[in-house]
A and B are shown apart, each in its own frame.
Chain A
């Protein structure tokens, strides 16, 4: 592993075993996080980004299960499941036990911040006590020292009058302030990685911008790496260094933030960027992505985006491309999973016949597509 790499995820697969069938929420994703960078994990609802984030900390509950892949964090193996030569799947011996995960990793080495701060805070204890207890346990401090550290952290994240606010209960805080408390809690043990799962989605824009500012400052100060899960391309542009774009359980593109916005190499990323209204310019007609994301329970064959892709050809229905580096010589690493890059994939895309999809056919078709599942029918 590269010395600058904090976390490495290889071919991670997480599935949910439901009555209707197996939902392949995360289906073989690979990425790494470097020291001090903010990596964006972006996608629409149902893309699997939250499941991916939770899988890293092995926070997947029944009926979900991580069924394959390897997650390494520094020297430690957070998860490892490998197929031996005999076809038998066995756990890596170095894989941490549940107790190790709980004691040494979660909170201490990797912290996580959720979208709804009220879910992570206990309503019957004061903010200060929760933070103090957390510091006391994880940093093995005395009660008094932990209390002082807690007040220091509250001030650090911009809670006004922290000595008094220490004794407040979560419901006495506004949404933005609660999220600040969680950031304080995440930073309290100076972890090397923080996973932020849509932490600003429930907040108003002015509060969101305060939080983004705060995170940018603290990230500089503590040199923490972040995995920032979001659906908002604006937030991505604002704070991320590198971005992974997810679609239906797969990472379809991975690039530096500037390259992703100015030179997208996957039709989905391109379409996504074209479909968002801009706050800084007036656009008359939006160019939406046609159709809706299919269910992960029964994903399309071949490339999963081919049903909505304006560039889809016959070969896209057969080959499921794995993300490959498609950058030109001298450019930064830029991975994309699209057969359109014939030189890298060699699937004879150019010779293949274009197919009719909800994106290429005109208005009105594809409406009655009976997916057999709820919401399976296409939008406009």
Chain B
């Protein structure tokens, strides 16, 4: 520990004004390698020498994500499990070392910081985790838990600290008398409040919240969300709020980013994103949420299939394998109706969702209103023959190669700016449908 007198924390010389960029993430990428070790040895005599190679896969958890967070705002990141949102949160705080890309905090690149310099910076960035139980040491009392970060960063006088703890407990809606209680004596919602108090202890500017209310009951969720909003106003906090629940995201966020398979597919102001979504994935997500109102007619089941593996993600737009709006390849002349049928047939063959005995039945099922002609028709013909001959694999590969992989969605990674309808802030959408043509 340093011998200089305990610092107060008002000596920040790098204060950022509200509305200015506090955190800037540029092309952030995080890959994990799996495997390695003896069990993954593969026979490989091609390289000469010892004829075994270890085999490892790269899980592309986060790829090429860029955004800014302004001081005082809440940026919500939403996505389904496995989309990389938690990895993103941890990588921003450098709890994982980024594979590539930069993270600027108050203009300083965290990716370059190590050791003591990084530790000092961490005082200004705190994190709250999903499980309020496992993030609190069961053998410590609540007071010392909240006090610990102050000790670690050597701020405030030792006798000042316990007063501050009591003060903080009250601020997050707990009784200061709870100082000497153990975490197990609290309910889930209260434990998450203790976590809030601990995060606030070192007076941070930026708090990363990773699913902070997902483990709580709805009525308790609302209490904690309200407290978080109040604390944000009171302490001028900036939140990065990760959640899978779109209702919670809509409630708490100023701007919202949507992630799919490691990438940011859309980013816009809250109202813009919810009222004018531009990415087919965002639209599917929004249509999927059950609305707590029996008179709202939901259109459900819009997305088919499962998320592909992040080890070997699809080329171009990663959502294209499930996208209901996959763009027709421009190598063929096809009407919209023809393409819709071809696309549906292609996916059904891929997933083998039907059984078929003769050609007429298949045509009636998939192509009753339009059948492509020309080259596209020839390819479809061959695929149908394959299916009828029970060669599903061949048919699927043929359709994929000649249609899906010829689409612009497979050939180029999309990245577009859209003119917002609500507000004036940037609206980013990674979908080729937004290309000006």
Interface residues of A (CB under 8 A from B): 44-45, 155, 158, 160-161, 164, 174, 176-177, 204-210, 212-214, 231-238, 257-258, 261-262, 271-273, 275-280, 282-283, 285-290, 292-293, 363, 367-368, 374-375, 377, 379-380
Query: Which of A233, A238, A272 has the most B CB atoms < 10 Å from its CB?
Result: A238
Question: Are A380 and B250 closer than 8 Å at their CB atoms?
Answer: no
- B246 at the binding interface (Cβ < 8 Å): yes
- Residues in chain B near residue A160, CB distance under 8 A: 305, 351-353
- Residues in chain B near residue A280, CB distance under 8 A: 274, 291, 293, 296
- Residues in chain B near residue A232, CB distance under 8 A: 290
Residues 199-243 of chain B, each 1 if its beta carbon lies under 8 Å from chain A, else 0: 000000000000000000111111101110100000000000000
User: Closest CB of chain B to A178's CB: distance in Å?
Assistant: 11
Q: Return 13 A-B CB contacts under 8 Å, by A number.
A: A209-B301, A210-B303, A213-B300, A213-B301, A231-B217, A237-B294, A238-B290, A278-B247, A280-B274, A282-B250, A288-B222, A292-B187, A379-B173
- B155 at the binding interface (Cβ < 8 Å): no
- Residues in chain B near residue A44, CB distance under 8 A: 217-219
Q: Give the interface size class of chain B.
A: 35 or more
Q: Decide: A272 near B290, CB < 8 A? Known: A204-B81, A206-B80, A278-B250.
A: no
User: Closest CB of chain A to B392's CB: distance in Å?
Assistant: 8
Determine the main DSSP class of A at the interface with B.
loop
- Residues in chain A near residue B251, CB distance under 8 A: 277, 282-283, 286
- B388 at the binding interface (Cβ < 8 Å): no
- Residues in chain B near residue A273, CB distance under 8 A: 292
6 additional A-B pairs beyond A271-B219, A288-B222, A380-B227, beta carbons within 8 Å, are: A158-B353, A161-B392, A209-B302, A209-B303, A214-B301, A377-B187
The 7 closest A-B pairs by CB, nearest first: A234-B290, A288-B222, A161-B352, A213-B301, A160-B351, A375-B187, A367-B175
- Residues in chain B near residue A212, CB distance under 8 A: 290, 300-301
- Residues in chain A near residue B173, CB distance under 8 A: 363, 367, 379-380
- Residues in chain A near residue B300, CB distance under 8 A: 209-210, 212-213, 238
CA of A133 to CA of B313, assembled, Å? 37
- Residues in chain A near residue B352, CB distance under 8 A: 160-161, 164
CA of A36 to CA of B286, assembled, Å? 29
- Residues in chain B near residue A272, CB distance under 8 A: 218-219
- Residues in chain A near residue B298, CB distance under 8 A: 209, 238
Closest to B227 in A: A380
Q: Which of B281-313 contact A (CB under 8 A)?
A: 284-296, 298, 300-306
Q: How many inter-chain residue pairs (CB < 8 Å) link A and B?
A: 184
CA of A143 to CA of B219, assembled, Å? 50
CA of A261 to CA of B292, assembled, Å? 8
Question: Are B296 and A237 closer than 8 Å at their CB atoms?
Answer: yes
Determine the main DSSP class of B at the interface with A.
helix
User: Closest CB of chain A to B195's CB: distance in Å?
Assistant: 14
- Residues in chain A near residue B221, CB distance under 8 A: 275, 277, 288
Instruction: Give the residue of B80, B292, B301, B305 whose beta carbon is less than 8 angstroms from that of A278.
Output: B292
CA of A240 to CA of B433, assembled, Å? 37
CA of A293 to CA of B217, assembled, Å? 10
Query: Which of B184, B189, B292, B293 has the most A CB atoms < 10 Å from its CB?
Result: B292
Question: Are A292 and B292 closer than 8 Å at their CB atoms?
Answer: no
CA of A276 to CA of B173, assembled, Å? 20
- Residues in chain A near residue B301, CB distance under 8 A: 209-210, 212-214
Question: Are B306 and A176 closer than 8 Å at their CB atoms?
Answer: yes
Q: Decide: A279 near B293, CB < 8 A? Known: A285-B226, A367-B175, A368-B177.
A: no
Question: Are B219 and A288 closer than 8 Å at their CB atoms?
Answer: yes
- Residues in chain B near residue A237, CB distance under 8 A: 290-294, 296
Question: Are A377 and B186 closer than 8 Å at their CB atoms?
Answer: yes
CA of A96 to CA of B251, assembled, Å? 51
- Residues in chain A near residue B131, CB distance under 8 A: none
- B379 at the binding interface (Cβ < 8 Å): no
Question: Are A375 and B303 closer than 8 Å at their CB atoms?
Answer: no
- Residues in chain A near residue B270, CB distance under 8 A: 282
Q: Which of B182-200 contact A (CB under 8 A)?
A: 184-190, 193
- Residues in chain A near residue B402, CB distance under 8 A: none
Closest to B304 in A: A210
Question: Are A261 and B294 closer than 8 Å at their CB atoms?
Answer: yes
- B174 at the binding interface (Cβ < 8 Å): yes
User: Closest CB of chain A to B138's CB: distance in Å?
Assistant: 12
Instruction: Give the residue of B223, B288, B305 whose beta carbon is less than 8 angstroms from that of A288.
Output: B223
- Residues in chain A near residue B186, CB distance under 8 A: 374-375, 377
CA of A160 to CA of B347, assembled, Å? 11
Q: Decide: A206 near B247, CB < 8 A? Known: A238-B298, A275-B218, A277-B222.
A: no
- B248 at the binding interface (Cβ < 8 Å): yes
Closest to B191 in A: A375
Closest to A373 in B: B185
